[in-house]
Amino acid sequence: MSDAVVPHRTQDHQAPAGWVRRALDSDIFYSFRRSRLTMVAASITLLFFLLAIFASWLAVQDPFDPAQLQLLNSRIAPLWTADGQSPFLLGTDEQGRDVLSAILYGLRISLAVGIAGVVFAGALGIALGLIAGYFGGVVDTVIMRIADVQLTFPAILIALLVNGVAKSLLGNRLDEISTLGVLVIAIGLSFWVQYARTVRGSVMVEKNKDYVAAAQLIGLPAPKIMFRHVLPNTMGPILVIATINLALAIITEATLSFLGAGMPDTMPSLGTLIRIGNNYLFAGEWWIVAFPGIALAGLILSINLLGDWLRDALNPKLR
Amino acid sequence: MLAFTLRRFLQAIGVMLAVGIIAFAMFRFAGDPVNQIVSIDTSAAERASIRQSLGLDDPVLVQFGRYFINALQFKFGVSYQFRLPVSSLLAERMPATLELAIVATIFAMVAGILMGVYSALRRDTILARLFQAISLIGISLPTFLIGILLIYLFAVTLGWLPSFGRGDVVKLGWWSTGLLTVSGWKAIIMPAITLGLFQMTLIMRLVRAEMLEVLRTDYIRFARARGLTTRAIHFGHALKNTLVPVITVAGLQFGSVIAFSIITETVFQWPGMGLLFVQAVQNVDIPIMAAYLLMVSLIFVTINLVVDILYTVVDPRLRSTVGRAA
């Protein structure tokens, strides 16, 4: 990252001291302020995160609690249509579940699985990439061969297979929480390759630099050199991959749930909600599927736009 | 050249062996095959004898060898849910998937090339901007959402197209085709668009970028200097040179199209291999999952091998690999 370069603009207002000022003065923030689309995308992403975090305060009911659902309220159209009823802003589904509340809770699960999946994939990929790049030789060949082979297969196929095997091994012991864990593992195992390749490439470049030789000379252990000294220098591209992968991970989770291999109906993510809602499309109850779909599309689109911007902003060649 | 081909071939066999081990491990260890075959009240002695007859007491290596030899003859065991040989289930479903994948690829190539050429030649028109927007949507929206949207528009609201199935099929030997009937063509439109949209955006972006690059080269300038018509320059010279990478990408992507048809087939209840696979994952039908993995891997590895070898034949400069990251 080259955000510590000489500030090429002077700011009129008195900026606060310390890192805040450095951040406001940085090239990254400058390019952020210049792109209106990015600012909109960032606001929408932030809004989605806030909605997910405060879901239990914002929702008019707990959609997981059967005691709060009343069949009397089932299949109510959105509020602005002729059949709308307060407080169900976006209508209700078959079980009398408020669509908006379900979306808020589903958003939380989608984001949680997506973030955990990206973190797991990142940890796995970074560790393997560091090992491959730092040690080279046979270790490198083995790890990168596996990566090559896996890259030929679409992530969704790998995720589905991991899911099916886990279901087969765990059988009936699979409750909501462990399903969530399986999804995270499935996503992590499908997306680690890109991190590993990037980190390995950077490490191969970094490890020939003087500071690594110096660290080796003073006798630091290999893991310490790898994680404390080499890794920080490879973080820029990793951040970009992580952002774009977050969108991909959310899509993968939603797809798995839509295919019926993800989150169960009792703890729905956005994908599950879309699968459930899809069954009522022909009955004319479009809102059960439309709003979770719009939420998912908006979330993915804004994260993708953020990722695109970050990729350009962190790439000095494009300035 | 020969050494390169041979090395690639050995690598491909290595990959297939690795996938075979994974498929075997799934088949053998993920879920007890005996439990899936017998009913609950089968006695322990009967279970043991079934175990014996299935050869599950043999050393693991022997079992792997047997699985491997069977797989070479396309014997993948018996499906837990259907109680039918997996190979016949797959063979029955394969024409549907292949037809869908081929129609989707053709759609993606035709539409992608047309849109790409247009947005390269008329860069700042409204239509070109619209194409860019469509390509952003094609990359960002999950496949199943696009499918649902199409169903809502053209099946539920307008009622023009059927929302599920293949329409009427005609049997040509063991191959069942929906491409000979009107209802079959009507049924394939929406699934093919849904499946091909991602490929289409990919091809469109590629054609646009390649065209812009080629139009800047000297030989195009020379062609202009010779006084050739714009049409001849654009389509005879520029487009022709963009087609090599386009065909390569489309070829490499064909494997992904087959794998991604899992989603499209589920949305449209298209009776292909992908739908079979999803049902197998839902119902933990391990033999189908393992066999599907092997089949798709075989298709992937074959395509990659052929493309790799063709690369070196067509253009030695093109040895870097082009592919989709995820």
User: What values do phi and psi take at B159, rounded to 5?
Assistant: 70, 25
Please indicate whether, in this complex, the C-beta atoms of B18 and A149 are within 8 angstroms of each other. Answer: yes
A76 against A104, higher pLDDT: A104
The percent of residues above 70 in pLDDT, for chain B, comes to: 90
The stretch A198-221 carries a mean pLDDT of 84
The percent of residues above 70 in pLDDT, for chain A, comes to: 82
CB of A238 within 8 A of CB of A124? no
| Nearest chain A CA: its distance from B11 CA (Å) | 10
Quickly state the pLDDT bin for A317 (edges 50, 70, 90): low
Question: Testing the interface with A: which of B8, B28, B144, B152 to mutate, by most A Cβ within 10 A?
Answer: B144
Query: CB under 8 Å to A262, separation ≥6 — which residues?
Result: A163, A179, A183, A253, A254, A255, A256, A269, A271, A272
Rounded to whole angstroms, the Cα distance separating A45 from B283 reads: 36
Instruction: Specify whether A30 is located in the same domain as A51.
Output: no
> What is this model's ipTM?
0.78
The stretch B47-56 carries a mean pLDDT of 73
The stretch A71-79 carries a mean pLDDT of 68
Instruction: Specify whether A296 is located in the same domain as A206.
Output: yes
Neighbours of B201 (CB within 10 A): 24
pLDDT at position B323, please? 37
Residue A231 covered by a domain: yes
Please indicate whether, in this complex, the C-beta atoms of A168 and B30 are within 8 angstroms of each other. Answer: yes
CB of A274 within 8 Å of a chain B CB? The answer is yes
| pLDDT at residue A157 is higher than 50 | yes
Half-sphere exposure of B14 (CA within 13 A, CB side): 11
Please indicate whether, in this complex, the C-beta atoms of B152 and A165 are within 8 angstroms of each other. Answer: no
Which range marks the domain in which residue A311 is found?
44-318
Mind listing the pLDDT tens digit for each residue in A104-132? 888 999 999 999 999 999 999 999 988 88
Chain B residues with CB under 8 Å of A259 CB are 262-263, 266, 278, 281-282
Number of structural domains in chain A:
2
| pLDDT at residue A263 is higher than 70 | yes
| pLDDT at residue B119 is higher than 80 | yes
Instruction: Specify whether A114 is located in the same domain as A226.
Output: yes
Instruction: Specify whether A299 is located in the same domain as A241.
Output: yes
Residue A263 covered by a domain: yes
- pTM score above 0.90: no
Instruction: Specify whether A58 is located in the same domain as A159.
Output: yes
Instruction: Specify whether A8 is located in the same domain as A69.
Output: no
Quickly state the pLDDT bin for B34 (edges 50, 70, 90): low
Q: Can you state the angle between helices A155-170 and B273-282, rounded to 10 degrees?
A: 30
Mean pLDDT over each residue of chain A, to the nearest integer: 80
Quickly state the pLDDT bin for B213 (edges 50, 70, 90): confident
| pLDDT at residue B161 is higher than 60 | yes
pLDDT at position B215, please? 79
Rounded to whole angstroms, the Cα distance separating A303 from B252 reads: 28
CA of B274: which chain A residue's CA is closest? A157
| pLDDT at residue A70 is higher than 50 | yes
Residue A213 covered by a domain: yes
Closest CA to B193 of B252, B233, B275, B134: B134
Residue A220 covered by a domain: yes
Instruction: Specify whether A17 is located in the same domain as A153.
Output: no
Instruction: Specify whether A134 is located in the same domain as A9.
Output: no
Interface subset of B 262-321, CB within 8 angstroms of A: 262-263, 266-267, 277-278, 280-282, 284, 286, 289, 293, 296-297, 300-301, 304
Residue A181 covered by a domain: yes
The stretch A277-282 carries a mean pLDDT of 81
CA of A250: which chain B residue's CA is closest? B142
The sign one gets for the Cα dihedral B153, B156, B160, B161 is positive
Instruction: Specify whether A259 is located in the same domain as A126.
Output: yes
CB of B27 within 8 A of CB of B67? yes
Instruction: Specify whether A25 is located in the same domain as A131.
Output: no
Mean pLDDT over each residue of chain B, to the nearest integer: 80
Classify A67 as helix, strand or coil.
Answer: helix
CATH number for A85: 1.10.3720.10
Reported in sequence order, the residue ranges of chain B that DSSP labels E, i.e. its strands, are: 170-172, 175-177
CB of A294 within 8 Å of a chain B CB? The answer is no
Instruction: Specify whether A182 is located in the same domain as A260.
Output: yes
Please indicate whether, in this complex, the C-beta atoms of B284 and A164 are within 8 angstroms of each other. Answer: yes
Residue A39 covered by a domain: no
Instruction: Specify whether A193 is located in the same domain as A284.
Output: yes
Residue A178 covered by a domain: yes
Residue A95 covered by a domain: yes
